């Protein structure tokens, strides 16, 4: 599956590696629902490190949809919420 | 996995779909989208230039502050050499204020450098994707035949849309950070301009420098005086030999009695020339005169 890290690009992650990402991902979700910034940063940095280590970068000239989009490591809670709120028109030019 | 982050990718895709639906002929979407991609590329490049400008400005300010800090250290050293601990303390207090500003600036500089690197990389990535999209666009247009082309357009379009959304976010973020930093940089410029931090060019003299120079000129006067005293002390003794022995004791006793009185009056003249009250009376109020903050 293709995973995008916002601001960094896309990684092709093998399906069998997804399970190991799941545990880390649960912690990110938990942090967001609890509104815990420190926890979010910590969980995100571990999750992103894992994606970078198990995945292979998608070449720059390849156009592909991502199955999953992860915020970058220094995203704030409000930024993640803002992305999900889908309120800002013009985020996607086109 | 990730209900949350799957939702995020769906949002990107939904936006792309919405744009696609706006046009009856999908080929129009390709052309329109390509235009928007080129515009975004321009915007990213401007963003990189803006961030670089801000970074350079911060570098200049940091250099100014650190020159100033060095100068204050030297001043403290000089003040101690002439036994003015109060002046030395004042100089070091100001220096620690500057040091704080400098540390903040350095942290911001590192942050900005990070943003700049990210944007440069994003702009390279977008350039490659835009090139890929252009190639694809032409192929699709040439082989355009109903449903198949339609799905290929969808693929290319949502792929580039996601990339543009991502890069768009990065630009936005860099712009926000740059704006914040510019406000701060402006505040420091104002501070420097107001003279509170003293210009690093050294064209204007701060009160510590003035006082140190006064001390230096006072001690120059003392040196000069003692040189004069010494030469006078020798002069008359040479004269007495020529004139005769009887008057010698009286002349020799004169310089030692008059020297202190003469030294004081010369200092007074010096003060009058500078149009300032006696430096030593000014001391207590001086350290507070130029406020740092």
Tokens linked to B205 = 């003299």
More confident residue, B66 or B149: B66
CA angle at B97 for the pair B95 and B100, rounded to the nearest 5°? 110
Mean pLDDT of B66-74: 88
| The most confident of B127-131, B175-179, B202-206, B238-242, by mean pLDDT | B127-131
- Partnered with residue A9 across adjacent β-strands are A5
**Closest to B48 in 3D by CA, of B138, B125, B141, B134:** B125
A9-12/A56-57 β-pairing: antiparallel
More confident residue, B16 or A34: A34
CA closest to A29 among chain B residues: B4
Q: How far apart are CA B1 and CA B8, in angstroms?
A: 12
| Residues B153-176: tens digit of each pLDDT | 777 777 888 888 888 888 888 888
Residue B243 has pLDDT above 70, yes or no: no
CA closest to B115 among chain A residues: A7
Which of chain A's residues have a Cβ under 8 Å away from the Cβ of B118?
Answer: 7-8
The secondary structure of A32-91, three-state, reads: HHHCCHHHHHHHHHHHHHHHHHHCEECCCCCCCCCCEEECCCCCCHHHHHHHHHCCCCCC
**Probe site for chain B from A25, A43, A93 (most B CB atoms < 10 A):** A93
Which of chain B's residues have a Cβ under 8 Å away from the Cβ of A71?
Answer: 5, 8
Q: How far apart are CA A31 and CA A44, in angstroms?
A: 10
Task: Supply the pLDDT for residue A58.
Answer: 92
Contact B162 A4 (CB under 8 A): yes
Which of chain B's residues have a Cβ under 8 Å away from the Cβ of A16?
Answer: none
Q: Are B221 and B266 in contact (CB under 8 A)?
A: yes
| Residues B187-225: tens digit of each pLDDT | 777 766 655 555 444 445 677 777 777 777 777 778 888
Whole-complex ipTM: 0.74
Contact A60 B128 (CB under 8 A): yes
Q: Assign B160 to helix, strand or coil.
A: helix
Percent of chain B exceeding pLDDT 70 equals: 67
Phi first, then psi, for residue B77 (nearest 5°) are -60, -50
Task: Supply the pLDDT for residue B288.
Answer: 47
**Closest to B116 in 3D by CA, of B161, B165, B175:** B175
Which regions of chain A are under pLDDT 50? 87-94
Q: Which of B6, B15, B36 sits opposite A68 (nearest CB)?
A: B6
**Closest to B75 in 3D by CA, of B206, B183, B201:** B206
Q: H helices within B143-247, ranges in order?
A: 146-193, 207-243
Contact A32 B8 (CB under 8 A): no
Task: Supply the pLDDT for residue B248.
Answer: 46
Q: Assign A12 to helix, strand or coil.
A: strand
Contact B8 A94 (CB under 8 A): no
Which of chain A's residues have a Cβ under 8 Å away from the Cβ of B37?
Answer: 93-94
Whether the model clears a pTM of 0.90, i.e. scores above it, the answer is: no
**B137: Cβ contacts below 8 Å, ≥ 6 apart:** B30, B31, B34, B156
Task: Supply the pLDDT for residue B273.
Answer: 55
Contact B170 A6 (CB under 8 A): yes
Which of chain B's residues have a Cβ under 8 Å away from the Cβ of A43?
Answer: none
Q: What is the DSSP letter of B205?
A: P
Burial class (CB in 10 A: 0-12, 13-18, 19+), A51: buried
């Amino acid at each position: 599956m293709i995973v995008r890290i916002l601001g960094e690009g896309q990684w092709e992650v093998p399906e069998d590696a997804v399970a190991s990402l799941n545990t880390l991902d649960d912690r990110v979700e938990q942090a967001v629902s609890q509104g815990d910034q420190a926890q979010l940063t910590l969980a995100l940095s571990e999750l992103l490190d894992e994606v970078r280590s198990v995945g292979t970068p998608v070449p720059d000239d390849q156009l592909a949809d991502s199955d999953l989009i992860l915020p970058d490591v220094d995203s704030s809670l409000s930024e993640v919420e803002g992305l999900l709120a889908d309120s800002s028109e013009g985020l996607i030019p086109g | 996995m990730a209900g949350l982050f799957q939702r995020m990718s769906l949002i990107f895709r939904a936006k792309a779909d919405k744009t696609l639906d706006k046009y009856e002929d999908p080929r129009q979407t390709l052309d329109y989208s390509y235009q928007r991609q080129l515009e975004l590329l321009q915007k990213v490049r401007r963003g990189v230039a803006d961030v670089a400008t801000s970074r350079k400005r911060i570098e200049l300010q940091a250099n100014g502050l650190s020159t100033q800090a060095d100068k204050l250290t030297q001043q403290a050293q000089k003040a101690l050499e002439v036994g003015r601990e109060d002046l030395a303390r004042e100089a070091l207090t100001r220096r620690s204020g500057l040091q704080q500003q400098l540390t903040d600036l350095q942290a911001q500089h590192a942050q900005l450098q990070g943003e700049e690197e990210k944007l440069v990389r994003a702009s390279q990535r977008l350039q490659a994707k835009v090139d890929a999209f252009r190639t694809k666009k032409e192929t699709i247009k040439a082989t355009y035949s109903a449903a198949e082309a339609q799905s290929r357009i969808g693929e290319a379009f949502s792929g580039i849309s996601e990339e543009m959304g991502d890069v768009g976010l990065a630009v936005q973020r860099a712009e926000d950070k740059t704006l914040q930093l510019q406000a701060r940089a402006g505040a420091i410029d104002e501070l420097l301009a107001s003279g509170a931090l003293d210009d690093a060019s050294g064209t204007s003299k701060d009160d510590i420098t003035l006082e140190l120079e006064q001390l230096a000129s006072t001690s120059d006067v003392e040196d000069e005086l003692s040189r004069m005293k010494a030469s006078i002390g020798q002069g008359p003794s040479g004269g007495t030999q020529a004139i005769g022995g009887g008057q010698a004791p009286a002349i020799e006793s004169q310089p030692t009695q008059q020297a202190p009185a003469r030294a004081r009056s010369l200092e007074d003249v010096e003060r009058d020339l500078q149009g300032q009250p006696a430096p030593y009376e000014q001391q207590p109020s001086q350290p507070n005169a130029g406020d740092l903050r």
